[in-house]
Amino acid sequence: MLPDHQFLRIPGPSPIPPSVQRAMNQPMIGHRDQETKHLLHSIQPALKPIFGTKQNVLIMSGSGTASLESAVVNAVHPGDKVLVIVTGAFGDRFVQICAEYQIAINRHDVEWGEAVEPGAIKDYLKNHPGIKAVFATFCETSTGVLNPIQELGQIIRQHSDALFIVDGVSCVGGVEVKMDAWAIDILISGSQKALMLPPGLTFAAVSERAWKVIEKNDRPSFYLDLTKYRDQLENDTTPFTPAVSLLFGLKQMLELIEQEGLEEAFARHRQMMNMTRSAFRSLGIPLLTSDKAASPTTTAIRPDDFDPDILRNVLKKEFNLTVAGGQKHLKSKIFRIGHMGYCSPADILQTISIIEVALRKIGKQVELGSGTRAAQEILLSGGS
């Protein structure tokens, strides 16, 4: 094993393209200088299609959790009734944030590994009038589930006046999203997942409907006040010091997506998902989610005859391949493979091949090459 030869296959942070790394190595510029204004101005037109919106996409320095908190603190008041759809650890994070701000939480729990049923939300809204906002996680990386956001948006708009607030941190850039057409009011994301950047940038796109609510919210907020970011963006600047090097990288990342094509990027992610799922089926190792609920950016595997943490340790120690473990009650029960952003079908073939060898090393009897062959067949068929 070469010390510097690392294979990162977790659900974020994801690998960084070399051209993005080079872009971030550019000499620093003044954050209030004209160069930074030009940079911010040039980024907006390319960001909007990724979010599926005509609205400007606000850019803040912070983690994905900062964007979750910004949505809560701007869109709802203490005491407001909200519905939080919890399909995993990051849906639960919305609950924790709302609790910190004294929001009246209505919680809809779904078994981990399953996607929410839109009909259940329809019934809930009919029976619980006065909900001010519905929070949902698009891709739940703790389980590898992709929730039916389009259907949820239609139901929420038809059966309530609630704002629809969506955590797209781990899938925006890797799956199709049409914020405006799907009636999403606030769509948030982060830089370190399918957007192929290091951690440190967070994004929020806000509908006109949501702005009307936010503008009436008199709760004190300083750094996370979205109106400040909106107003300053009109002048191609930010209210606080931006992460300039990450903005350089963001511009280059957007150029890479433009070169590949957005639809092609989505198809690549679906293909990698199908390759990964087919490989583990061929190896006889159970998947956590159904095909219908599966995310194109993360796959969760739930073995029934070996300890996933032992496998992960062998992968890391002997091959420098990092895959993720389970969270909360799924800890030591699943492992997760990230296939998002700067990741190709060739990377998946390599990952599956290494995992096959590691499985044999821990005593799991698998036919070497069977998983790789299954993934190869998906690739050759063009299956996406």
Structural tokens at position 91: 């849906």
Neighbouring CB atoms inside 10 A of 263's CB total 9
Nearest to 15 by CA among 145, 199, 280: 199
User: Which residues are CB-neighbours of 335 under 8 A, at least 6 positions away?
Assistant: 300, 301, 303, 308, 309, 311, 312, 323, 324, 325, 326
* Spatial distance between the Cα atoms of 242 and 23, rounded to a whole number of angstroms: 16
330 DSSP assignment: G
* Spatial distance between the Cα atoms of 260 and 252, rounded to a whole number of angstroms: 13
DSSP 264-283: HHHHHHHHHHHHHHHHHHHH
C-alpha atoms less than 13 angstroms from C-alpha of 259 in its C-beta half-sphere:
7
Q: Is 209 annotated as a binding residue?
A: no
Annotated binding site: 336
Annotated binding site for substrate: 336
